[in-house]
Amino acid sequence: MTDSTKFDTSIKPYRPRRWLMPVEWIGSAPLLLGARARVTKSNCEGLEAPFIVLSTHASFVDFAVAVRATFPKRCNWLITLEIMCGFDWLMRRVGGIYKRKFTTDVTVVRHILTVLKKHKGICTIYPEARFSLAGVNEQLDDGLGMLVKAAKCPVVVLNINGNFLRSPQWCKHPYRRVPVRATYSQIVTREEALSLSADEIQKRIEEAFVYDDYRWQFENKIKIKSKKRAHNIHKILYQCPHCKKEFSMKSENTSVWCEECGKKWEMDEYGQLHCINGEDIFNHVPDWYNWERENVREAVMNGTYRFEDEVRVERLHSKGEKYRNIGQLKLTHDENGFTLSGMTNEGELYLNRPVNSMYSCHIEYNFQKRGDAVELCNLEDTYFLYPQNHDNIVTKLHFATEELFKKDKLTRKEPPRKRRSEPKEIEK
């Protein structure tokens, strides 16, 4: 029988069950072996729980790498709620803490502090809150430094290379033969968590999260012989750098081209792009990706950015039933944020997420073979939105969400918001 119970994020986190630890270790082994994963530890001498692990995030193998890095210790996991469908009983007992993406939920912060202060445990967090799209670091929540100050515990950063190249989000399969290499480094000691300011800790975290998988590949001369190494890369490289046309790009196998002006690029075995019928403008994928971001930033800053479309809406329904199609609604995205409105088969729906409430957004390419999607959440519900009339738009929406947030911080007329107060200590 399907479990129709809604998710309850208020349930306090469980201590990870000892008898389930071998399940994690054994389950991780094939992933680690297939990825040829290695973890190098530094500055971890004498490190004991409680502490926070902050990990970069580019593919599912990251979870197995984190299990390997923290072995043989048990840890709790901050995980997105939709992963739990059908596995609620298990995921809670291995230490899962549920969260809806890009929402400010004080309850989740309390759960993390319960793990660290009351249970004296380890909490693993993926602070980018979504997979890397171009093998480079994404925007982080600016509250991480305050969390560390409230927890008064060390911070370890797990920075992983090769995971993106092995299985990029725009073409997850087939897996490329790329070795995965991770560094597991303590960047804030217990003493520094007490003595440094929240801003200083935040800066240290952000510096530790800088990575570039394509540069790492090129500098280490790692060959990717897969004939699919550029397949679907137009999902992130959606604008032609020659004619500047948006959404004119297509890609297949090792080629990417513009259907507007005809310019074509080939990706070599070291991840470099070469224009075969014109001038090379971008050889490095992240440079092209960041150029597109700059173009979106310009539109946001001069007030010309706006998106509107009809979207098919799927609602995350319950623990047992993942997604339920509730109809087609109108989505707009502009300086008022994301606004979803219309009549569903469950009644009228209006949802607005203001610009200052989302520093980024989660997107998916051909999510479960149902199309490109944007995930929009509040504290009660999760919606997956599938644009109906705009092809390959979700990467631009990702850029625009971040740039609108930055503009709001720069141009807000009222005094800047005070930092969120630090959560009260959990009773020991």
pLDDT of residue 88: 78
CATH number at residue 321: 2.30.29.30
Most confidently modeled range among 139-143, 379-383, 398-402: 398-402
Residue 364 lies in a domain: yes
pLDDT of residue 318: 66
Tens digits of per-residue pLDDT, 5-46? 677 788 899 999 988 888 888 889 999 999 999 999 999 999
E strand intervals along 263-302? 264-267, 273-275
Asked if 283 and 347 sit in the same domain, the reply is no
Q: How high is the mean pLDDT of the chain?
A: 92
**Statement to judge: residues 130 and 203 lie in one domain:** yes
Q: What's the pLDDT tens digit per position in 198-244?
A: 999 999 999 999 999 999 999 999 999 999 999 999 999 999 999 99
Domain-located, residue 99: yes
Domain-embedded: residue 422: no
- Examine the fold and report which residue of 219, 254, 281 is the final residue of a domain before the chain moves on: 219
Of 265, 285, 301, which residue is a domain's last?
A: 301
At 199-210, the pLDDT tens digits run: 999 999 999 999
Residue 125, domain member (yes or no): yes
| Tens-place pLDDT, residues 115-154 | 999 999 999 999 998 899 999 999 999 999 999 999 999 9
Q: What is the pLDDT of residue 357?
A: 95
- Per cent of the chain over pLDDT 90 is 80
**pLDDT score at 5:** 67
Give me the pLDDT at residue 425, please. Answer: 47
Based on the domain organization, do 176 and 37 belong to the same domain?
Answer: yes
Q: In what order do the strands lie in the sheet with 273-275?
A: 249-252, 255-258, 264-267, 273-275
pLDDT at 419 over 50: no
152 with 67, same domain: the answer is: yes
pLDDT at position 426: 45
Nearest to 58 by CA among 278, 281, 267, 286: 286
Q: Let me know if residue 286 belongs to a domain.
A: yes
Residue 200 sits in a domain of what CATH number?
A: 3.40.1130.10
Sign of CA dihedral 203, 78, 27, 48: positive
Q: Looking at 298-377, which runs of residues are DSSP E strands?
A: 307-316, 323-334, 337-344, 347-353, 362-364, 373-377
| 66 and 175 part of one domain | yes
Same domain, 169 and 260: no
Q: Lay out the sheet containing 181-188: strands in order across.
A: 38-42, 181-188, 155-161, 51-55, 122-125, 76-80, 96-99
Say if residue 214 is in the same domain as residue 286: no
| pLDDT tens figures, 251-293 | 999 999 999 999 999 999 999 999 999 999 999 999 999 999 9
Please give the Cα distance from 122 to 55 (Å, whole number).
Answer: 13
- Enter the DSSP assignment of 239: B
The pLDDT value given to residue 416: 46
Residue 76 forms part of a structural domain = yes
Q: Are residues 86 and 176 in the same domain?
A: yes
Domain limits for position 391: 307-411
Same domain, 251 and 318: no
Domain annotation covers residue 261: yes
Model confidence at 423, pLDDT cuts 50, 70, 90, reads very low
- Shared domain for 296 and 323, answered yes or no, is no
pLDDT of residue 20: 85
- The domain total for the chain is 3
DSSP 367: G
- 258 and 348 housed in the same domain: no
Do 46 and 163 fall within a single domain?
A: yes
* Per-residue pLDDT reduced to its tens digit, 286-320: 999 999 999 999 999 999 999 999 999 999 876 66
> Which of 301, 317, 336 is the last residue before a domain boundary?
301
| Residue 413: pLDDT over 80 | no
In-domain check, residue 211: yes
Contacts (Cβ under 8 Å, ≥6 apart) of 139:
128, 359, 360, 402
Residues 56 and 61: their CA atoms lie apart, in Å, by 11
Q: Confirm if 107 and 98 have CB atoms less than 8 A apart.
A: no
